[in-house]
């Protein structure tokens, strides 16, 4: 009694999954970067901190540099790996095309 279905996966799912994995990877890298610099450089007593541009080194590297690097990383990921895709289903696209032909 098993009905066989003629199911075809929408190719947009593959692209959406790829984009989601890229986003998760960037997020995890961001957290690792922040943790290493914030806790690695900031774990000692404040008297031993070194300063860059008036900020403690741990803050400069974990917040300021992190923001700049990951802003460019996200820009690059969106520019080179993400695709602009229509959100309409193929049926709606065909219906829309047919309506335009009638007019």
> pLDDT tens, 6-40?
777 888 899 999 999 999 999 999 999 999 999 98
For range 69-98, the mean pLDDT:
82
In this predicted structure, what is the pLDDT of residue 1? Answer: 53
Domain enclosing residue 34, as ranges = 14-83
Residues written for the chain = 103
| Mean of all residue pLDDT scores within the chain | 86
In this predicted structure, what is the pLDDT of residue 86? Answer: 86
Could you identify the residue written with the tokens 């895709």?
A: 85
Q: What is the count of structural domains for the chain?
A: 1
**95 part of a folded domain:** no
Alpha carbon dihedral 40, 43, 46, 47, in 10-degree steps, equals: -80
**71 part of a folded domain:** yes
């Amino acid at each position: 009694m098993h009905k066989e279905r003629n199911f075809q996966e929408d190719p947009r799912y593959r692209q959406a999954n790829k984009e989601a994995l890229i986003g998760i990877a960037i997020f995890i890298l961001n957290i690792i970067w922040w943790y290493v610099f914030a806790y690695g450089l900031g774990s000692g007593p404040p008297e031993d901190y070194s300063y860059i541009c008036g900020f403690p080194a741990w803050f400069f590297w974990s917040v300021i540099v992190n923001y700049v690097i990951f802003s460019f990383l996200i820009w690059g990921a969106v520019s080179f790996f993400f695709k602009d895709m229509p959100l309409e289903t193929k049926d709606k696209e065909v219906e829309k095309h047919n309506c335009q032909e009638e007019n």
